[in-house]
Amino acid sequence: MQLIPTLRRLAALLVLFAGGLDSCAFARPAPPAEVLLRAGEGSYHTYRIPASVVVRNGVIVLLLEGRKDAQDDFAAIDLLCLRSLDGGRTWSRPQVVYTEGAMSARISIGNPCPVYDAETGRLWCGFTKDNQQVYVTYSDDAGATWARPREITRDVRPFQWTRYWTGPGHGLQLRQGSKKGRLILPSYHMLLEARDGGHSTVFAMRSHMVYSDDHGQTWKIGASTQLSPELDTPESRFSGKWIPGESTWHGCEGMAEELTDGRVYLTIRNQVGTGGAKAEAFSSDGGETWTPVKLQPQLPDPRCQAGLVRWTEPGRPGKALFVYTGITTDTRAAIQRFQPIEGLAGRQRLAAYVSSDDCRTWREAGVVFAGASAYSDLVVLPDGNILCFFEGGEKAPYESIRMARLGSDWLGGKRPSD
């Protein structure tokens, strides 16, 4: 009785790995989305910034921020963790990975970036304190307990970097080449740069990698990203309430995955909104240096973080599907590729995109959640399904943390009636 469903899944995968992504163009229902946490539950005003990994025995570990007294980025924030032992069907209650204590302290512990070391079985997580100090912690029991955090600021933050963020979203471990085994935490920063021969200064935002070649004992940083000449124009400048003046954009929140040829792909938030498209860069040395940042016009980006994961077909390690999730609409954005939902303001329409050619081209697979939505992260389960964790709600994206299951049939565009 299981033959027909199995054949359907196989057919969907054949479509994906043959490069036949045109079949993804038609609309189909969004997958069911389960609410894991609602704003106001427990001791927290808002839950944000999901970052997820799968560790040994298929245990799913979801890290996120618990914002105690407000929704904003500068609230008093704890680092939290949820676990599932049954493929995401049931979940533990949130446990505190790290806190600075009383709400009155207004200390932000956040931007979780977990990475699983498959060679040692240790789960690492990078995070920041007040977007200035950088820490790592680890778990040797699949997220059940965590070690006392260790500060690595002196190793990974040059003095001229004024603000610092790890992640958000999961990191990666390289699987091939001379850097095999390297642990990578995608990160970004603000720094003060000299201009006009040192006669003036300007803030700049750039992406970089924090990496370890000794299973987390020591951590280093790679080179920062740089815009390509065609993007490095006066339009690449922006401002914000948390920026003391104007800043140039050369990188931002990013997610990285290893390509089949060993290069590392980095998808980057377009902080200035140029072209309404996501930005990207490639590395041939394990994240130490990057090609100039360019736009990827096939991935919409109304200035928001996005999720990225690599799915490898069992028995075919050289063939991979890359899945990306990101919102495609924001009523505040200058460029609108999709019509916003009537009466709904802000970020919305979380969609999945797929690539079967090492992230050179992308096609939309479907809408994961049509309503208010924002940040997301993805994990691949041992059974081949993908879980998407995202911020979403009926009226605002930060009402809850939700989870949707993206099967190969759905990603491959197989109609339910087929």
Q: In degrees rounded to 5, what are phi and psi of residue 24?
A: -80, 0
pLDDT at 409: 86
Structure confidence at residue 279 as a pLDDT band (50, 70, 90): very high
- Residue 418 pLDDT exceeds 50: no
Grouping H, G, I as helix, E, B as strand and the rest as coil, residue 236 is helix
What's the distance, CA 217 to chain centroid? 24
Taking only the tens place, the pLDDT of each residue in 106-154 is 899 999 999 999 999 999 999 999 999 999 999 999 999 999 999 999 9
Containing H/E element for 7? helix 3-17
Structure confidence at residue 204 as a pLDDT band (50, 70, 90): very high
Structure confidence at residue 10 as a pLDDT band (50, 70, 90): very low
pLDDT at 316: 65
What are the structure tokens assigned to 114, written together?
């977990």
**Which DSSP category does 198 fall into?**
G
pLDDT at 104: 57
Task: Give the Cα separation of 365 and 350 in Å (integer).
Answer: 11
Alpha helices in 108-253 (DSSP H): 153-156
Q: Residue 337: count other Cβ atoms within 10 Å of its Cβ.
A: 13
**Domain parsing of the chain, residue ranges:** 3-412
What's the distance, CA 13 to chain centroid? 24
> How big is the chain, counted in residues?
418
Dihedral, 96, 76, 397, 238 alpha carbons, nearest 10: -130
Structure confidence at residue 223 as a pLDDT band (50, 70, 90): very high
Of residues 66 and 11, more confidently modeled: 66
What are the structure tokens assigned to 251, written together?
């990188």
Q: Of 333, 368, 331, give the one whose Cα is nearest residue 350.
A: 368
- Region 394-401 average pLDDT: 97
pLDDT at 19: 39
Cβ atoms 328, 336 nearer than 8 A: no
Q: What percent of the chain has pLDDT above 90? A: 77
Containing H/E element for 3? helix 3-17
Q: Of 310, 76, 349, 49, give the one whose Cα is nearest residue 175.
A: 310
Of residues 264 and 408, more confidently modeled: 264
- Region 258-262 average pLDDT: 96
Cβ atoms 412, 22 nearer than 8 A: no
- Ranked by mean pLDDT, the top range of 15-24, 191-200, 305-314 is 305-314
Alpha helices in 28-179 (DSSP H): 153-156
- Residue 17 pLDDT exceeds 80: no
What are the structure tokens assigned to 183, written together?
């642990």
- Ranked by mean pLDDT, the top range of 13-17, 378-382, 411-415 is 378-382
Taking only the tens place, the pLDDT of each residue in 169-187 is 999 999 999 999 999 999 9
Structure confidence at residue 241 as a pLDDT band (50, 70, 90): confident
Average pLDDT along the chain = 90
pTM listed for this prediction = 0.91
Task: Give the Cα separation of 137 and 375 in Å (integer).
Answer: 23
Q: Of 375, 383, 372, 378, give the one whose Cα is nearest residue 404.
A: 378
What are the structure tokens assigned to 10, written together?
């196989």
Q: Residue 402: count other Cβ atoms within 10 Å of its Cβ.
A: 24
**In the block, residue with structure tokens 């460029």:** 335
Of residues 139 and 101, more confidently modeled: 139
- Residue 4 pLDDT exceeds 60: no
Of residues 114 and 14, more confidently modeled: 114
Task: Give the Cα separation of 84 and 22 in Å (integer).
Answer: 35
Q: Which CATH architecture describes the domain 3-412?
A: 6 Propeller (2.120)
pLDDT at 380: 97
Of residues 27 and 135, more confidently modeled: 135
- Residue 206 pLDDT exceeds 50: yes
